[in-house]
Each structure stands twice: as structure tokens, then as C-alpha cells.
Structure 1
Amino acid sequence: MNILALDLGTSSVRGLVLDGDARPLPDALARRKVTLTVHDDGTGTLDPARYLACLAECLDELAAAGHLDGVELVATSAQWHSVVPLDAGGAPLGAVLTWLDTRPVPLARAAGPADADAFHQRTGAWWHRCYWTVRLPWLREHCGTPIARFVGLAEYVFGELLHEGPMAVSQASGTGLLDLRTVDWDAEALALAGARPEELPVLATQDWRGRLRPAYARRWPALARAAWAVPVGDGAASNVGSGCVDESRAAVTVGTSAAVRLVQHMPAHRDLPRLPHELWRYRVDHDHVVTGSAYSSGGNLFAWAHRELRLPEGAELDAALARLSPDGGRPANVRFGGDRPPGLAPAGSGELRGLSFGTTATEILAGLMRGMCDLIAVDLAELESTVDGPVDVVLGGGAVAASGWWRSAFAAALAPRTVWHQPNPEIGAIGAALVALGRIDAAAGLTGIVRTDEKDSYS
């Protein structure tokens, strides 16, 4: 059996084919960049129709090469927090509001949860612009057209391709509307969002499987009988793909954004341990939760610096960074895209400090990367307070896979913990496949993780 693994990311959409043990098959990868619209006012949106077209192009490419032959299961890693307003016919009424969009604010007449801490403990979220409790009322106020329903990006894509597009508990937990213990919509969160259950996606059952609509089954006949598993939140999938599925290992993932997270076995309908105020908690599936902290900056910092500072390429950049110590560079506030919850710093809060006429572009880049390391180190300590003792750390994601200096900077900032590196950049897709297979626990034995420390050769 082969598995088609999809990654519905913010900067790209990807499809790759894995074998039955979730190992990538040679050359069976298709990728399309997507255009994220960002503005200084905090806009961070995607075009839903164009996004779907990019995914279809990936599947066309894989089909043309014969890579979809033998695929029996489709697994998906999808970004959390996105929302798409739909009309009564299911057509989008606007762009996809991504996690990066900082424009939504509570309406002037709105009041927050009656007990903010109790709300946080139940939902793992806050009354914050990142979640649907604030986003849905704001969208109704700004849409200009009556909104019939709200879905996330994953549900929009599935609703177009499949006979139905229910919402997985993993995706639902990222809305801030889900009671993590009962795995049902939280009554107070719905009231804050001004939404009725019928205006939201149906929650998928634990064993749900979908099928392609006839038109798409004809377009990709190799997938006509393939079963589609529910999407997994990208952060949860990345932890699983990094082999971080218990309390001994935390994952630090740097893709477009960045996060530090810990997965624990906590079945639904059981009481959950207390959640520290500064951390969020979402669901991986009905049996596991993921706890952590996330940031609007990550690989996008590297991309910004590379573009605006005209940094050297490849080996030349590596050599320039190698001349700096892992704690080198210039001090920086890396909140270029504002804060993820619970912080409220708006987009445009980034700062560069300590500059002189002798400061080089490489030193600025190093300061940005080290700034991310220091932010994560603080929240990792908070995460460790929820478990017994220090944890090992596994670095993952395309941004750290591409930069040995950044890996060494993380090793220095997170010392004395043991820091490992998962060099495979497709950890999200692989993790989603393992969740779909019901093999989360097996992820702890993933091979390919290598030791990273201050003596990293920057290879």
C-alpha cells in the first residue's frame, strides 16, 4: 500500500507519495508555491480558488509520472487557525484568513469569557484574534455580504474535492471553539463567536474516511478508490514526523513560522492536567494532545533578510555565518509578524538594535536567527514545567534543515539539553501519514535523527 501525503502550508502546497511505512518514495514529490498576501495593516491571506488549483496541479504532476498508482490512503497536514467565509451555495465570500492575519479585533460591544482561566483550561485557547471567537464576529462585520457558514482551509479543500468535508478534532481544536475533553463545540466559545453549530463544519468521527467526487476521480483515476483520512493540524503532524510523541522529547519546528511543542497521550472524555497560562493546547486526535507555543516568525525571517539585505548565496553565506559564533549577530526583536497568542503585539513590531556602520548583512541575519532561538528557549522552559524534568529537543522543518549555523545556534541557546536534528524537511506530511495509519507511538522510533551541538560542522 502507498500513501499520498499532502501538506497544506502557508507558503506552499505539497504532495508526496510514501510507502506503507510512511517512507518517501524516490522523486515522488510535487510542490507549488502559493501567494500569501501580506500588508502592513496585518493582512495575511490566501486566495482559496488559487490554492485549490495549486493542489490540483501537484496531483496532476504526480499522476502524470505514475506516482499515484497503488495509493490507497490520503493523509493531510494542514495549517491551523485559518477561516474561510462561505455563502449559502458554499462559495467563498473572501480570502482565506490565515494564522498570520492580525487584523481581527474584538467588537466594541463584545465581552470576553466569564472566567478566562476556566475557558483556557477547557479549550486550550484564549479570547484572541488568532481564534474563531474573535475572527467570526470580525468577518461578519467586515464581509459586506451575509455569511452562511465558516470553514477552515482544509475543510474548504476537502469540501471541493470530496463528497463531504467534515472538520477533524485536530483542526477544530485550532479554532479555539472546541472543548478538548468532550471533543465537542464549547457552548461559551460558540457564544463568543456568535455562531451556531450549523454554521460550522460537522465534526468528523474518529474513523471517518472520505472519497473523491466523480469529476476528480475521473481526473485522477488512481485515487478513485483511495480513502482520505481527516486532516491533522500542521504542528501536531510535525511533532509526530519528528518522532516527538511523548514527554521525553519536544519538537522545535521552523518552517515559515516556528513553534515548540510536546505531544502527550490524553484520551478524550478524561480530565486534562492543568495548562500554564502562557501555553496553548490542541488535539492531535481523539487520544493525544499537543501543548506548546508558536511564533509568527521563522523561516520568513530568513527569507526577508535574504531578499532585502541581498545576502550571498549558498556556500558563500554558509562561510560568512561560520565566522560568527552561535550566539553572534546583532540584537533583534523578531516579532515582524506580530505575536501569536496569547501575545498581542501587532504586525510591524520587529526591531534591529545595536547597528553601526560596520554591521554586516550576515550579522543582521545571525541576530534574527539567534533572536528566534532565545524566544523558544524561554517557552521550552515553561513547557518543561508541565512534565517531570528536562526533555530532549528535536529540530525540524525546512528552515533549520537548510542552515547548519541556525542548528548550532539552537543547540547553544537550548543547552544543556540534548539537541537532535531531523533532516527530512517533509516531517509534517510524514507525521500526518502516521496519524492516519494509527501509528503515532511508532513515530518515536523514527530513524534519521542526528545529534546537533556546538561543534556542528554547518553541513
Structure 2
Amino acid sequence: MKHLTILTVDIGTSALKAVLYSADGSVLALSAQPYRYQTPQPGWAEARPTDWWDALTAALAELQVAGFDLQRAQAIGLTGQMHTAVLLDKAGRVLQPTILWLDRRAAAESVELQARLNLPPDQFNSTYTLPKLLWLARHRPEVLAQTHALLWPKDYLRYRLTGQLLTDVTDAAGAGLLNWNTRNWDIERLELTGLSAAVLPALRQAGDDAGALKPSVAAELGLAPQAKVIVGAGDVIALMGASPPKVGRFSASLGSSGMISSLIPASLAVDDPQRRMYVYPFLPYRLLNGVLSSSGASLDWARRAFYDDKAPLSPEEATAAASSVAPGAEGLFFLPFLNGERSPYWNDALRGGFYGLSFRHNRAHILRAVMEGVAYSLRHLIEISQDLGASVQEIALSGGAAGSVFWAQLIADVRQRPLLIFGGQESVTRPLYAYCITALNVNDSFDAALRRTFDRPLRLEPRLELATIYAKGYHRYRLLADFAAERLS
């Protein structure tokens, strides 16, 4: 068993990655294959799913040329971008257009669906699948008339591998087609587009068996025909791969945008009636999940806007400038809502801003206020998670913000919790490895398998002497943020 390998695949918006793991959870090899999406009109974005398949075949060929025997890959797991629907005709051919998640043509349909169904915007914004299907029904009805099956990126590639039409609850939720109470399809919503339930794939859990490889496909790709294929999940599982699974740990991944999560035992019934947070079933857990629109992007904007746009401060220079200012930024506050906000407000019209600006403030104050504003927004989501039943004893930070020890320490200080920074970047494929190992029945638990993929973290302790300063600052931040969300947008 020690010689087996695990093949994981991540279908991104602009590249596909095939990551090969050893049995013990070490990354053996990685192949990344880029592709482009099309923008036929401003605000539109479309993909060619056949490009994903071509990228997969190229990635596997590259791994084999590098000397890796894919016949040893005993299990295969896939993940990928969410919200992007792939429509198939009766013969299994792709019906274009394949509208990407970042396409905004269905903004009007999104607003209409929110009002029509009296549902919160976390279930219907223009990134989601359902508004795009309604747009197709109105503007390209001939496409939906030919639609025999509805899939998402990981499901399309898995369909090419196995011939099975399946998906999981994360992509069903990301489509806006999941009934959150029953965790099954919401057929009435789908029927608003003119499609019937017959087009929907079977719903499965991420670690479930997804059927055998087609013998001809296995031979074409150099894979073992007996390799086990699992269902997989949308790329939201990166939240589980940001740190080793642990109840009591709050995970935050801060890049241009941000994703946060907390684990709760699956035995506990948890829901957020206000729909500030998602609740995903990732056995043996439930995953509380939130999304921030402009976390790291806010600092990038400040580095350009308040310095030389042609030669903005480096992240290291920005950190040095911000660290020259006392905690609390001398009363300057920043709302990090430069492109609306998702969790917890779900308000595209919400906008950012500064409060408390005076003659004593300079550009360094601006930078520190931006960093503190993002930290306050994280604290807000941490407290919501706690209200919903999550225990938050420590914070795990990943993404670009984790590269700044100063910013990480600031986050620890604002919430007064220890903060951990784990190395490694394969957050999205780590959980796939763990699901695959578990599916092989090698007497290994999901938790144990996932933990093996991590090294010892850097640990930062909160500075108790700053607790009062940041408690007062957070209180003021909440007054400002809630007022902006309720009265100014």
C-alpha cells in the first residue's frame, strides 16, 4: 500500500492543476496547464469545457513524462470552480455558452429572483447558476430546449472519466438550487427556467464512490482501470485544506477576497436563519462558511491610491509604514466594502469608506486603518460563527495575508486569540487526498489523512495589552458598518 499514489485535479478559472500525492500525504508532483476564457461582451465571460479536458490530458501526460507511473494512482478526486454550469445534450456534447461564475450578464435576473422568491442575496447573486439559467431561458431558449443534463466543472470531467451524472451538495448550493432544509434539489426553483428535474444529476457526498473509469479512457490517459473515483466537491473545500481539521479552530484564507470557515460536529443541528453564513455538510463535520469581497484587495488599492500608482509600495513597505502607527490608527476607521460585501451583509450596493479622518493622519495611518478594518470584519464573522454554535479557540490564517507576520499578529490582537500560519499552498487538493485515502478503506480516518499533509505552524499569541484598544475599536467599527449597510446602501 505504501507505493500507491492519489491523483487530485483542480479545475480553475484559468488553469487546471493535477497534483499527485504519495500514500503518506506528501506532494510528489504537480502539473499546471493554463487556458483562456472568452469575453464576447463587457461583463461577460465564457469557457470551453473541452479546454478543461485537453488540459487534463496534457497534465497527466506531463506527469508521465516526468517519470510518474499513473498506474499506481489508486484513487482520483476532482474539485473546481463553482457556479459555472455545463449543459449537455442527449449525446453528451457540450451546449454553448458555458457561462463562467464571474460573468455578470444575469444581474437583473438575480435581483428579480431575490424579490420573487423572497430569499436573501447569499442564495442569489449574479455569480450563481440559477440566474444565468433564467437569462438563457429568455435570451437563448434553444440552448435550454436541447439540454439533457446539467453539471458543473468537476462533474463534467468526472462524467468524461466515468460516464456517471453526479454532483455534490456544494455545487448544488452554489447553483442556488439546493433546498437548505432538506439538503436536496429545489425543483420549483429550477422550473422557473423551464427546465425539468430530469436534467439534474444525482446528489452525493464528496467522498462517495462515483463509479469506475471507462476502460477506453483509462487506457487513453494511462490510468489504472481499477482506480477508485470519488465524487469530489466545489473549490470551497479549500477552507478545509487551509489548516488541519479541528473543532475550535477558525480558518481564514485572505487573498484579494477572503473565505472563512469553522468546523462543527455533524451531530449538531446548525443553521443560520439570517443566511449570513453558509452551512455545508462535510462529513464528519458541518462547515460554517463566509466570504469577504475585498480583504487583500483593499490593501492593494490603498498601496496604489495613496502612493505612486505606477510604482506602488511593495507589501513589505506597506507593512513597515503601517507598523509605524500606533494600534487603533489614532481613531481612523476603514470599512472594507470597496466592491460591495458578501458575508455577513450580502449587499452589492454597500461601499467602503474612512471615518475619523483628521489633519493628524497621513498615508501610514491609511494603511494601518485598512489592515485593521479587514481584521475587524474577520472578528465580525468569528462572532457570528460563535453565535451559531462554533467554538473559536484559535485562528488559522492562509493566503496572501499570511505572508505578513505584522498583519497576522494584528488579526490575533483584534480577536484576542492565538493565530497559526501553516505552510504549503495546496489547500484545495488536500481534502481530496484525504477523501480518496478514506475511500480506499486503508483503516485511515479523514482527519488523520488530512493532518498528515501539514507541517508544524508558526504560532502567534495575542498581546493582552491591546485587548481594550481593539475592543473599543471593534465596537466603533460595528456601529459604522451596520449603519452603512442599513442606511447608506
Q: Any gaps of 5 or more consecutive residues in structure 2? A: 439-444, 464-489
Q: Report the equivalent of 1:277.
A: 274
AA partner of residue 146 (structure 1): V
TM-score (norm 1): 0.78
SS of alignment partner, residue 4 of structure 1: strand
Equivalent residues of 1:6, 1:75 under 8 A apart: yes
Q: Report the equivalent of 2:480.
A: none
SS of alignment partner, residue 175 of structure 2: coil
Equivalent residues of 2:329, 2:369 under 8 A apart: yes
Say which one has the larger Rg: 2
Among 373, 387, 397, the residue aligned to 2:375: 373
Q: Report the equivalent of 1:157.
A: 157
Among 446, 450, 455, the residue aligned to 1:440: 446
Paired with 1:37 and 1:363, the residues of 2 have a C-alpha distance of 41
Deviations along 1:99-119, one digit per CA (max 9) or x if unpaired, are 5747433379767576748xx
Among 82, 91, 94, the residue aligned to 1:91: 94
AA partner of residue 154 (structure 1): K
Residue 146 of structure 1 pairs with residue 147 of structure 2: no
Paired with 1:296 and 1:56, the residues of 2 have a C-alpha distance of 34
Q: Report the equivalent of 1:59.
A: 60
Residue 396 of structure 1 pairs with residue 398 of structure 2: yes
SS of alignment partner, residue 98 of structure 1: coil
Among 266, 290, 293, the residue aligned to 1:296: 293
Q: Report the equivalent of 2:51.
A: 50
Flag the 1:374–1:217 CA change in 2: closer, same or farther, 3 A.
same
Q: How does 1:47-126 map to 2 (within 5 A)?
A: 47-69=48-70, 70-89=72-91, 90-98=93-101, 101=104, 103-106=106-109, 112=115, 116=119, 126=123
Deviations along 1:14-34, one digit per CA (max 9) or x if unpaired, are 222112232323xx1222445
Among 319, 322, 335, the residue aligned to 2:320: 322
Q: Report the equivalent of 2:484.
A: none
Paired with 2:63 and 2:32, the residues of 1 have a C-alpha distance of 10
Paired with 1:238 and 1:293, the residues of 2 have a C-alpha distance of 10
AA partner of residue 446 (structure 2): I
SS of alignment partner, residue 174 of structure 1: helix
* Percent identical residues: 21
Flag the 1:111–1:207 CA change in 2: closer, same or farther, 3 A.
closer
Deviations along 1:156-185, one digit per CA (max 9) or x if unpaired, are 222234323411233223323223554421
Deviations along 1:234-292, one digit per CA (max 9) or x if unpaired, are 2234324512342x11110134531111122326xxx8334141423243445532112
Equivalent residues of 1:136, 1:194 under 8 A apart: no
Q: Report the equivalent of 2:478.
A: none
Quote the RMSD (CA, aligned, Å). 4.0
Residue 451 of structure 1 pairs with residue 459 of structure 2: yes
SS of alignment partner, residue 209 of structure 2: coil
Deviations along 1:321-371, one digit per CA (max 9) or x if unpaired, are 224228769966544554436623169x66689799x976x9877665554
Equivalent residues of 1:106, 1:138 under 8 A apart: yes
Paired with 2:69 and 2:228, the residues of 1 have a C-alpha distance of 13
Among 387, 390, 403, the residue aligned to 2:389: 387
TM superposition shift of 1:385? 0.9
TM superposition shift of 1:400? 3.1
Q: Report the equivalent of 2:25.
A: 22
Flag the 1:280–1:259 CA change in 2: closer, same or farther, 3 A.
same
Q: Report the equivalent of 2:252.
A: 252
Aligned length: 436
Paired with 1:20 and 1:155, the residues of 2 have a C-alpha distance of 25
